[in-house]
Amino acid sequence: MSGHGHKHHEHEHQVVPSDPALRVKALESLLVEKGLVDPAALDALIDTYENKVGPRNGARVVARAWTDAAYKRRLMEDATAAIAELGYGGRQGEHMVVVENTPAVHNLVVCTLCSCYPWSVLGLPPAWYKSQAYRSRAVIDPRGVLREFGVELSEDVEVRVWDSTAELRYLVLPERPDGTENLGEDELAALVTRDAMVGAGKVAASSRATADKVSR
């Protein structure tokens, strides 16, 4: 599309405050005045992604797959349906694909064109996932990126990078760490980090070791 509103954009800079906080405040009050949005709906949307939908959902999916072979088969076959069995789905999780890490294969998920991310199982993406640095480098230098996340892969491990260019959303099924044979599903879920489900990390056996990373 040509003639795309460059002028409009600059014009808008003049009329809307350049400070983003003021800009958004002005935008909200105008839209509420006009009846275009309901502020209570905004509160409910924010509450959903701050408190209800986040990486704990994905961690439950991973823990179930680690402990239930039949579930794992369904998950690899039709991830959307298997994830829905645990009650997760909807916006930005409509079309899910799960890719499995093994000793021979490491998967890493990116969206080079914007910041597509599986909201229904991981919540909203962290800043690093949306950064120009990650989006540019993940496809050309995945091993270097992984090294910065503390994941050192030997040359005989195959790296598969998944660029989310369409509406498919990818969740990495990390390797179950050794030494967790006696743990139940809840305990396992507590070990699973967000980064591991993007492929930018591995799951460690001790929650103490990963405590720092749980929120990542």
Partner 1 sequence: MNGVHDLGGMHGMGAIEPEHDEPVFHSEWEARAFALNIAAGAWRKWNIDAGRHQIELLPPADYLRMSYYEKWAVRLAELLVKHGLVTREEFESGQPARGSVKATPPLTAAQVPSLLRTGAAASRNVSIAARFQAGQRVRARNINPTGHTRLPRYARGRVGTVDRDHGVYVFPDTNAHFLGENPQHVYSVRFTARELWGDQASARDSVYVDLWDDYLEPV
154 is catalytic: no
**Residues 173-211: b if buried by 16+ CB within 10 A, e if exposed:** bbbbbeebeebeeeebbbbbbbbbbbbbbbbbeeeeebe
Name the residue nearer to partner 1 (CB basis): 37 or 205. 37
Question: In the complex, what is the shortest distance from the CB of residue 205 to partner 1, in angstroms, rounded to a whole number?
Answer: 21
116 is catalytic: yes
Neighbours of 114 (CB within 10 A): 10
Indicate whether 38 belongs to the interface with partner 1 (CB under 8 A): yes
DSSP 18: S
111 is catalytic: yes
Indicate whether 57 belongs to the interface with partner 1 (CB under 8 A): no
Site for partner 1 in 74-93 (CB under 8 A): 89-93
Indicate whether 140 belongs to the interface with partner 1 (CB under 8 A): yes
Nearest-angstrom CA–CA distance, 37 and 48:
17
Nearest-angstrom CA–CA distance, 179 and 117:
31
Contact 172, 43 (CB under 8 A): no
Indicate whether 27 belongs to the interface with partner 1 (CB under 8 A): yes
206 is catalytic: no
Indicate whether 132 belongs to the interface with partner 1 (CB under 8 A): yes
Residue tagged active-site, from 2, 18, 29, 115 = 115
Site for partner 1 in 143-202 (CB under 8 A): 143, 145, 148-149, 155-168, 195
Question: In the complex, what is the shortest distance from the CB of residue 179 to partner 1, in angstroms, rounded to a whole number?
Answer: 26
- Rule CB under 8 A: choose which of 43, 77, 85, 187 binds partner 1: 43
